[in-house]
Structure 1
């Protein structure tokens, strides 16, 4: 669902053109506006190329860009993939910018050592403990999304 509190730039928002020209990374862009701007910065890449390179189905990406599908449940790995592709194409975008534009909580930095430790603990737990750990993690994630 599109949140009208986000500021977007483009032909449907003529008052934003001057600000957009002054600020190369406008704050408050929703994901559709951000991706459109980033694609424009690539010079010649298309939505289809972005979807393919990021491993996202084109109709899904197109729906996000046309604001016909909400972005609040986008898989964090998809947002990371979009950022990785854009950076690979020479366009600077931070993970934080993508997550904020999608209306998602910005995840903490990943650390392979901490992830491995968590996986090791999980594997040592009996089935009931594994389920409890998953429920705890899901509750923490829900709390982070709500804040």
Structure 2
């Protein structure tokens, strides 16, 4: 996703969420398990509103706690793509493949996965 494709940032999404649900920063924080100061900082773009600054689990928790806002919508507002689903079958197949690799191959795959994950976090 490019910056031009994003229609709102996280602060704007949170403002819309607060209007939609009639909640405060403190209530959002309570529901997703972060401090009110953290939510307030996101709302006022003081820190943590860049793609790197907001943890994936916080974005997922926001979508789960306020279901009128999809994960895709929340992640997009943070400038990131939402992670795809991982079925138990997929996880098992990946684990079996990983276990069949040498230690060096496992390290290489981990490095590649980390690079792809970082790419999604940074949006670059």
With normalisation by structure 1, the TM-score equals: 0.67
How big is each residue's C-alpha offset from its partner over 1:7-39, in whole Å with a ceiling of 9 and x where there is no partner? xxxxxxxxxxxxxxxxxxxx7111111111112
Matches for 1:107-146 after TM superposition, within 5 Å:
107-144=83-120, 145-146=123-124
- CA-based RMSD: 2.4
In the alignment, does 2:63 pair up with 1:83? yes
Q: Secondary structure at the match of 1:105?
A: coil
Aligned length: 118
Residue among 21, 24, 34 paired with 1:42: 21
Residue in 2 that maps onto 1:101: 77
Structure 2: segments with no counterpart, 5+ residues: none
Measured in 2, the distance between the counterparts of 1:116 and 1:35 equals 36
| 75-84 vs 46-55, greater mean Cα deviation | 46-55
Structure 1: gaps of 5 or more residues: 7-26
> Highest CA radius of gyration, 1 or 2?
1
Partner SS, residue 27 of structure 2? helix
- For residue 66 of structure 2, give the secondary structure of its aligned residue in structure 1: helix
The one-character-per-residue Cα deviations of 1:41-95 (angstroms, maximum 9, x if unpaired) are: 112x2211211221223222221111011331122221111000012xxxx1111
> Given that residues 52 and 58 in structure 1 are in contact (C-alpha distance below 8 angstroms), is that contact kept between their aligned partners in structure 2?
yes
